[in-house]
Structure 1
């Protein structure tokens, strides 16, 4: 910035313009930094596709255990003893996919029998177990 001294007419006037060269330099540096830091956008979508044969939609078998008011346990509609029930559960636990077992107790059956069926299924490794008719116990 040049200043004019008072009293001399031959000295140049004060320069009132802004020097824009440093501003442009800073803007260019910021622009280059922005371009470098933005990740490169790819137009491709990377997917990991499964290899091999597609899985078959084999629905698991559905088995039903009923307990009547006389504490008789039924496997698929046929009465079974405790030993037969355990043998059938061992046989079913080896299947792939494991079948879905539904237990349908009667409201009048003993809780001990129902709990024994659930405990036996847990011991034999049956994971897919459902209790049907639980709404009859709600008061």
Structure 2
């Protein structure tokens, strides 16, 4: 069997194999056909508009600021507080309407079990709104 030397000299093939391309395109087509109907919402609702100056803003009580240092010492609104004082303040503030938010500022090196105990005490006292204060990263 002899090979013809008419035009092929063993160089690079100039044809593109389109079979993998067709396979990928068919899979994408099937995915889009399945997900396209799911993207339209069949239930339309009217969402409320936010008004930043409402009467509710006037009723908001100032938040309780709790700072906890790494050694476990606590400061409620910048005044030193013990566990018993903290629990009594939680009980008093839990009865207020609207209830103030407890904002916890814990030291970075503080063990989480201390924060967990504070949250458990607040929950047992009836506090609902608890937030954590952090600092933004500095971009230098």
Displacement, 1:134? Answer: 7.7
Moved over 6 A (4+): none
- Name the counterpart of 2:130: 129
Report Cα offsets for 1:37-83 as digits up to 9, x if no partner: xxxxxxxxxxxxxxxxxx66412321101111111111111111111
1:86 aligns with 2:111: no
Residue pairs, 1:7-46, within 5 angstroms: none
Cα RMSD after superposing both structures? 2.2
- Name the counterpart of 1:106: 107
Displacement, 1:123? Answer: 0.7
Structure 1, unaligned runs of 5 or more: 1-54
- Name the counterpart of 1:75: 76
Residues 134, 114 of structure 1: alpha-carbon distance in 2 compared, 3 angstrom cutoff: farther
TM-score (norm 2): 0.53
- Name the counterpart of 2:117: 116
Displacement, 1:121? Answer: 0.7
Q: Between Structure 1 and Structure 2, how many residues are aligned?
A: 83
Displacement, 1:102? Answer: 0.4
Which of the two has higher C-alpha Rg? 1
TM-score (norm 1): 0.54
Structure 2 distance, partners of 1:130, 1:80, is 19
Residue pairs, 1:40-55, within 5 angstroms: none
Structure 2 distance, partners of 1:122, 1:134, is 25
Structure 2, unaligned runs of 5 or more: 1-54
